[in-house]
Chain A
Amino acid sequence: MRRFWPLILPVILFVMAAGMGGAEAQEKNDVPANVIEQKLTLVEATVCEKMKRSTPFNKAIVFSSGLEKVYCYTSFDPVPREMVIYHEWYRRDKLKAKVRLTLKPPRWSTFSSMRIRKSDQGPWRVNITDPEGKILRIVRFSITE
């Protein structure tokens, strides 16, 4: 067996060297993949009656105008860097409010609220947009009696 070591060892070394080289290449190839994953991602967007300990309670699509406020909750993971997003509140197609919210890495949850009155009854939507104005999601709900 010892006789064969001089022959086997170089082969083993070569194979190991070749294997290590492949891993490096894999790592290099994964770099751009990691960058994509680091893109701002909206994981949840919802409208609710209340926020309790930064968590939405009673998520719904219909709210009574007897409530004081309606909340729009959004959660992002990951957040690649500190950045801003917007919550644009529309009643039918009329913009009622545009709220600027700051996100911080690595993940972030945030919300905006809209004070509602009796005259605000009707269909609403919140456009969640990135700093460039690209709509990430639209959340729709109604204010009723």
Chain B
Amino acid sequence: MENLVLFLSSIRWQDAVDIILNSYILFRLYVLFRGTHVFRVLIGIALLWFSQRVAVALGLILTSWAIQGITAAAAFIIIVVFRNEIRSVLQAKNLKTILWGVPHQTVKTPIETIVDAAFELAGKKIGAIMVFPGMDDLDELIQGGISWDGLVSREMINSIFWHDNPVHDGAAIIEGNRIKKVGAVLPLSRRDDLPSSYGTRHRAAAGLAEMTDALVLVVSEERGSVVLAKGAEVRTVQNRDSLVRTLEEHIGSTKEQWGYKKKEKRELVIAALAALVLISAVWFSFTRGQERLVTFDIPVEYVNRNPATEIVDSSVNALQVGLSGSGTLIKSIRPDQVKVRLDLSKAAVGRNSFVITSGDIDLPPGVVLRKVKPSTVDVTLDIPGEKVLPVQVDWVGKLRKDLILTGAKIFPAKVKVKGGKTILDTLSTMYTEKVRLDQIEKSGSLKVNLALEPATLKIAADSSDSVTVDYFVKERASSLPAR
């Protein structure tokens, strides 16, 4: 549970945008290429990629390498092989359609075919009953039947209702351009006002029409007439045009478009959800999978410092920053992408102690801060100033026992140094770097640099950072005992 909370808290708004944006791109690819061969190949490539990730996770180096190669080649091949399909999708549609629109797969009921078939059956006095569902669900009212899902054609309709066909007595359920079911048993009407010439087929048509909004077409076997039943009305259709019009009114206004739209909408919602799940999984695999740790030494940047002050000392120059993230991310990360910025806007002259927080550290997206060492940084601020200081030589080593260094003249005798006032106030002498005595045997001259301690001190532009020392040596007085 704690891990889940930690995980959720580590998701940033950029991650959400990342997932949603890529999900939408995948969804658009589906919308644009569905029903084409390209889409099937894309699914194949996605499966290859997934297999490669699994192979990597299992440590199958050769397999993952081979699949990676195949995936890359396949991606290239589909662009070449399906260039025409891709071009037609991109060229045929405007930008709005590509980014937003949903191209509908229009499925029309072949009314002409049905009408032709109906009158052909009537002419041959072959009985038939065809149901065109409306908005109502017919599953509870229709019994039996054989699912078929075949495309509508005149020949197939003739064949279904052919005398010797075992299903010729039942009804054919037609949705869109497909005959969904054949040999279906419809509920019979109990009406008394139906003409006595109507047989079971007519009563079945009237029965379903009474109970639902379906349109039922009956071809009379005895008289060779075409009868339509809808609602309470049962009427004989005199001519072809009338039947076409009635079918168009029924199919066009209600069931097919509505039913198809509903189905398409459901399909698109499922596709959108699938794209979201898939991209989330990919994102997780990239950013969270195979968590790795890395440590960088990051220099500390100080920002918002009062211009009247300067930093004269800091406890550290760089921080050890421990980061974690997916192997891919961590491998690609460079130290210069990580920034440690300390806000000095509230710092005062003197020593200031800062506890490093995650807010002080800028990280690339998807990387999590694990540790910072040291966790506190001391920064000393001071007001810049100048001071003229006398120079003194810092002699070290051992002078020959029989010699005495009697004096030294330094040029220039004084230098101007710049630094924090607090530090300058404590200084009264500027020392040189260490000068060894071991090699000195007689009077001479040497040039030596000044030792800037602390290191924040600087020599003013009009002063030299080195001095010339003329030193004077004489032999130790003989009256004194040698040391």
**A residues adjacent to B (C-beta < 8 A):** 49-50, 57-62, 64, 66-67, 92-93, 121-123, 125, 138, 140, 142, 144-145
Contacts and interface: CB of A to CB of B under 8 A. Distances in A.
Contact of A123 (B392, B398, B399, B477): B392
B404 A58 contact: yes
A112 to B, nearest CB: 20
A122 B407 contact: no
Contacts of A145: 396-398
B398 to A, nearest CB: 4
Nearest to B404: A60
A57 B481 CA distance: 12
A10 B399 CA distance: 79
Contacts of B399: 62, 64, 144
B406 A61 contact: yes
Contacts of B355: none
Contacts of B426: 93
A144 B480 contact: no
A142 B480 contact: no
Given A57-B477, A123-B392, 8 more contacts: A61-B395, A61-B405, A62-B395, A62-B405, A93-B426, A93-B427, A142-B393, A145-B398
Given A64-B398, A93-B426, A144-B399, A125 B392 contact: yes
Q: How large is the interface on B (under 10, 10 to 19, 20 to 34, 35 or more residues)?
A: 20 to 34
Secondary structure dominating the interface of A: strand
Contacts of A50: 480
Contact of A60 (B394, B405, B428, B429): B405
B327 to A, nearest CB: 54
Interface in B382-407: 390, 392-399, 404-407
Contacts of A60: 404-406
B397 to A, nearest CB: 6
B407 A142 contact: no
A144 B477 contact: no
Interface string B423-438: 0001111010000010
Contacts of B104: none
A67 B481 CA distance: 12
Contacts of A121: 396
Contacts of B396: 121, 142, 144-145
A49 B408 CA distance: 17
B334 interface: no
24 contacts: A57-B477, A57-B480, A58-B404, A58-B477, A60-B404, A61-B405, A61-B407, A61-B408, A62-B395, A62-B405, A64-B398, A64-B399, A92-B429, A121-B396, A123-B392, A123-B394, A123-B429, A123-B431, A125-B429, A138-B390, A142-B394, A144-B396, A145-B396, A145-B398
A47 B428 CA distance: 20
A62 B393 CA distance: 10
Interface in B114-156: none
A61 B406 CA distance: 6
Contacts of A57: 477, 479-480
B461 to A, nearest CB: 25
